[in-house]
Amino acid sequence: DTMHISPSSNGCSYLVHGRCALTSWMEARALRKENAKAIGQWLPHWDVRQMLFKATGGDVKKWYWYLHHIMWADRITIRKGTGCSPYFMVTGAHPTLPLDVQEATWLVQYPKEIMTTEELIALRAQALAKHTEHVEAMRQRVTKEKERRAAQLEESNRAKIKTYDFKPGDLVLVKNSAIEMSADRKMKPRYLGPMVVITRSKGGAYILAEMDGSRIELPQNLKDMIDVSPETLIELQDDEDISELHDLDLGMGHSDSE
């Protein structure tokens, strides 16, 4: 069935609507133009119009955003003739309805008296719409909680967390973390160097060189190097500018070995 809805919503003025004669499963789609071909048997659509009107609270301009909620609610509502919902007839299982888990209540206030099927479907459509809003609100709360914990961690470790910003040509020491698990680590140096900083990537990782200009390859354990993180490994290996650096970039030349 095709019907014209005024006023238009999100540029759509038409609604094509069909319902399975066996399971009463509903399908619908909003259209900008009434150019759809024959869609089969024509059926009354007053119930769908009433559902949209009640779901939008009388603000018919919002019918576009409630259409999918109406379809979902219609599919999971029990039919008087069959004693089960179209959803159960198709899948053999009862759907899980969105609940306010914190308050253990429905997302909308249901009336105490008996309702019509159209009113029940409209209320469930409103619950679905509010469920989407609640999910977005939960995401925002989770994001704020992550930011709060990150700030708390930074504050509690203010004396421990350091942001290094070594410049090219600076001399640095590299922590020898490879020996931390060895049994004879007491007899091995805890730091290696001094070494020369060649450059620093955007991610904060450093490329170092020996005092004679020999570039140090990235170790498999990136924690062995100052400010090197796994996220910057690919960036460092693919950086063509870094691979072209040579001794002149360090501001010093080779000395003849004796």
Tokens of 159: 């004396």
The C-alpha atoms of residue 75 and residue 18 are separated, in whole angstroms, by: 13
- Domain match, 61 and 128 both: yes
Decide if 184 is inside a domain. yes
Does residue 60 share a domain with residue 121?
Answer: yes
Q: Kindly state the tokens that stand for 157.
A: 């470790």
Q: What is the extent of the structural domain holding 27?
A: 2-134
Residue 163 domain-assigned (yes or no): no
On whether both 14 and 119 belong to a single domain, the answer is yes
pLDDT band at 235 (very low <50, low <70, confident <90, very high): low
Q: Is residue 125 located within the same domain as residue 8?
A: yes
**Mean pLDDT, rounded, for 132-161:** 77
65 and 124 in a single domain? The answer is yes
Question: What is the number of structural domains in the chain?
Answer: 2
If DSSP codes are grouped into helix, strand and coil, which group holds residue 138? helix
Which pLDDT band holds residue 219 (cuts at 50, 70, 90)? very low
pLDDT digits (tens, 9 = 90+) for 13-51: 888 777 776 667 777 777 777 664 434 333 445 577 777
**36 and 129 co-located in one domain:** yes
Q: Within 31-85, where are the H helices?
A: 46-55, 63-75
Q: Does the structure show a pLDDT above 60 at 238?
A: no
pLDDT-derived band at 189, boundaries 50, 70, 90: low
Please give the C-alpha separations between residue 193 and each of 179, 181, 197, 201, in angstroms, as whole numbers.
15, 21, 11, 21
What pLDDT score does 161 carry? 56
pLDDT at 147 over 80: yes
Please check whether residues 25 and 108 belong to one and the same domain.
yes
Q: Are residues 6 and 77 in the same domain?
A: yes
Q: In the predicted model, what is the mean pLDDT of the chain? A: 68
**Per the domain annotation, does 117 fall within a domain?**
yes
Q: CA 224 to CA 164: how far, in whole Å?
A: 15
Mean pLDDT lowest for which of 1-5, 62-66, 77-81, 184-188?
Answer: 184-188
Q: Which of 134, 156, 182 is the last residue of a domain?
A: 134
Q: What share of the chain is helix, strand, coil (3-state, %, to 5)?
A: 40, 15, 45
> Both 117 and 210 in a single domain?
no
Mean pLDDT (whole number) for 132-149:
77
Q: What is the pLDDT of residues 56-101, one digit of tens each?
A: 877 888 888 888 888 888 888 887 767 778 877 777 767 766 554 4
